[in-house]
Amino acid sequence: MNCRLAAILAADVVGYSALMSADQDKTLSALRSLRSEAFNPAVSGHRGKIVKSMGDGWLVEFSAAIDAVTCAMQVQDRLEGHEFVQLRIGIHLGDIVHEDEDVFGDGVNVAARLEAIASPGAVTISDAVYGSLDGTLQPSFDDLGTRELKHIARPVQVWGRGADTSVAAEQASNHSRSAQSGFPRLAIQPISTSDAREDLVELASALTADFDGYLGGARWLKSTVQEDPSPAAHVLESVLRARGDRLRLDVRLSASDGAQIWAGKYDGSLADSFDWQDEIGGEVASQTLAALLDHERGRLAGKSIDEMSAEECSVSGLMCVELVDWKAMSKALEYHAAAVEKDPTLAEAYSDAIVYFICASSVGYQNLVEQYQDRFVQWRTGAGVHINASPMIELALGIAQFRQAGDLPALRRAIRSALRRAPFTIEVILFSGCGYAWMGEPEPAIECFRQCGQTIHFSPFGVAANAGLSFSMLQASQDEEAILEARRGLELTTEFSTLHRVIASAAAHLGRMDEAQAALRENERINPGDSIQAGWKRNAFAETPGTQRYYEGLRLAGMPEGES
């Protein structure tokens, strides 16, 4: 008998018997869509294996607890607001035994009991699973205390993620609004295969889940896996073919009118399919987002701000910010100011306007700060009304409160809440990292930047991620790594002064004064008259050993103290 440690995910359809009794055909159709569009791709995408299927439920085995949890969260997020089907999910890490095409053991028993106590739409996990999560996923779960589970001898510490009825109703309303909004929409069709070989079908499902996960992290794009795309959506369709051990993935991205936007071919082999899956998932997502942004850029090129909708202004602002220079930040703020004025209910407009203003202030664009200061106050007031509609608003307001009043607890609460509500959203993870860096906590900051490392290059915030990670590494005395990361950012733009300041400080700590002084000259070119005191004033860093180390390096490089 082969006993081994595994993470077991137990999932069950809520009210299955009642649904079948009320409308059997509709129930079966909904379950087919659930399996093909959400559940199976997510399981394959996180290297899970369905070990038991009961019609209205599943047992899935994972080698890593974090994969099981990520899979469960993505499935529940995709089902949020579904008009017909809800799932309960429980996960435990424990010993299992396979016997006669069935699975038994502590891992299965506890997972099943955790599923039974979960609320509809929720994920419930044991303490063993919670302890395996990283710092960006742990905030997603609430401590539900120690629970006595039926037929389980010992009490189990339980953690849960799931909304109460009022929050769920609000989220469903927000989901409906997003689906009808002016943001681009993308239908990701499940990848079709050339034959029914099990390994090929599993790989196709895994790649579908990867596309869904990567593309779902872009807030400006409303993407879902759909077998039958809606007429207004762009479509990403792929075919996976195999000849012997050789693989080929043909990908086509079409506009909503059927015109081809982009196409690609990717070759690989089944022998290294795991590595190939990781590489291709990121590459296709990157190319898709770049092509969609270019498509949107071309579509909007002939429109003035007056002619654009609020959502179009929001996307245009996002496209401007990529280089983080003065011109880019100026245009981004102009577009987002217009978006707020056009639609005061658009949550994305408030959160991005606040974040871009703070970025402009942090970099040192004082004339932009002065130009938008009054509107920044108005944005903060207006955003407060919509705080429940957007994790980014909650995070942006927490950052703003910290920068204005040095309120560390408020920022820490905002980060944990935003990561709980949107643990896969690129900008939420990125700006949570920035928040930790401003608080002088480099370890969780680096963890956030590492977490979004696979997807951040799909986003216009790539340079900002380079700067945040390099700064956090400098705080943690990782000077060589900080310089390398900053130079990666400089390959994209030489006008982001934070990158030059990090290199100046880190090189000075390493005793490489020529390199440090050259970087300081570049910072002076971009921010004439910069000084230690000016940096403290514009960034409002917490006074911790890490931030003190940053400024000490700048002093060693020769930056003047400034105001006494």
**Chain segment 134-162, per-residue pLDDT in tens:** 888 888 898 899 888 887 888 899 999 97
Q: Are 349 and 314 in contact (CB under 8 A)?
A: yes
**CATH code of residue 194:** 3.40.50.10070
pLDDT band at residue 319 using 50, 70 and 90 as cut-offs: confident
- Please choose, from the candidates 427, 89, 37, the residue with its C-alpha nearest in 3D space to the C-alpha of residue 212: 37
Report which of residues 36 and 380 the model is more confident about: 380
Q: Is residue 138 assigned to a domain?
A: yes
What pLDDT is stored for residue 251 in this prediction?
97
**CATH code of residue 508:** 1.25.40.10
Residue 64 makes CB contacts below 8 A (sequence gap 6+) with 7, 47, 132
Domain match, 244 and 383 both:
no
The torsion angles phi and psi of 105, rounded to 5 degrees, stand at 120, 175
What pLDDT is stored for residue 323 in this prediction?
75
**Chain segment 434-453, per-residue pLDDT in tens:** 999 999 999 999 999 887 76
CA within 13 Å, CB half, 105: 21
What is the total count of domains within the chain? Answer: 4
Q: Is the pLDDT of residue 460 over 80?
A: no
pLDDT band at residue 219 using 50, 70 and 90 as cut-offs: confident
**CA–CA distance from 150 to each of 95, 153, 160, 212, 258 (Å)?**
18, 8, 18, 36, 54
The percentage of the chain sitting over the pLDDT mark of 70, rounded to a whole number, equals 94
What pLDDT is stored for residue 165 in this prediction?
32
Q: Stretch 494-507: mean pLDDT, rounded?
A: 95
The torsion angles phi and psi of 190, rounded to 5 degrees, stand at -55, 135
Query: Is 0.75 topped by the overall pTM?
Result: yes
DSSP letter, residue 36: I
User: Which secondary structure element, helix H or strand E, spans residue 97, and what is its range?
Assistant: strand 87-99
What pLDDT is stored for residue 214 in this prediction?
84
Q: Give the tokens for residue 180.
A: 């009808």
**CATH code of residue 378:** 1.25.40
Burial of 265 (C-beta count, 10 Å sphere; 0-12/13-18/19+): exposed
Q: Give the tokens for residue 59.
A: 């047992």
Q: Is residue 95 assigned to a domain?
A: yes
Q: Is residue 326 assigned to a domain?
A: yes
Which one of 281, 300, 319 terminates a domain?
300
Domain residues for the domain of 7 are 3-162
Query: Which range is most confident: 188-197, 247-256, 340-349, 442-451?
Result: 247-256
Q: Is residue 234 assigned to a domain?
A: yes
Residue located via tokens 């710092």: 135
